[in-house]
Structure 1
Amino acid sequence: MKSLLLVVLLAAAASAAIVSQDIAEAPEAVVTYESIMYSDDAEVAEIEAASRSVEIETRRNLSVGTIGNSRLLANTQHIRGAIANTILVHNATFNFASSIRIAAIRVTRVGASQNATPSIVSGGLNRNFVTIRITSARGRGFNYRIQIYGR
């Protein structure tokens, strides 16, 4: 009876270790990040002017595509703390194998709103790559979860 209990506990521990593995580190995905801080008034004005022209500026979450029978390709969380009088721009690029096509992208705010804005800069649906930009409000941080589904 004790050996059966030991086997069950070992199986549970092994499956828990597999579940907690970061999906973004799968061999078919390459993820790169770039973070930029703007505190110069000219640079800040340029970024704010560019963000006003983006259609999805007022949205704090981003959801495009249909999950359907797709599988989760990447699941990452992006957190940046606030820096006084600074706009944080964070680019996350996801590259997948050429045979994979992105079917849905979900960028979801975690916790209280800090008025950051997510947007798709390049790639996207029906492609094998996407670059997602998260732009913070001046003097604020952000906390977002990015999930990418594909076939």
Structure 2
Amino acid sequence: MSSPAQRRHRTLWEEGRRPGREVASLAVALLLSATVLDLALSEGLGLFFDLTFVTLCVGAALAVRPPDFFAVGVLPPLAMALVVLLLGISDRDSIARADDGLAQALLSGLSRHGIALALGYAACLGLLALRRSFAERHPRG
């Protein structure tokens, strides 16, 4: 039987136990769903998309298991670029002017949502760094 000292409750930093591929796939699927919902409710990507993006970045950083931190660490800019690229191909005027080329639409879309990208990416990397620091100071026994 384990002693009370050995049965301490896991903290928020220890909770993430999902594989990186699973977390990344779910985050991208939810981001694409949010994109469709935002476009159904408005003419272009807006605040709903930005808030969802930042929330998903935080959630992914907390859900992933420590060996898979890299997969989630590179996820935010790639997920944002994927959404903007798909919209640049299928619905260009939702992220840029309708007469812009694909490359210009990609840059316009990324720049219009640059604050959300920066906040989501910073939150994701910051949380991963905190979790790594905590894991190094409190190794699992």
Same fold (TM over 0.5): no
Bigger share in strand? 1
The structure whose Rg is larger is: 1
Normalized against structure 1, the TM-score is what?
0.29
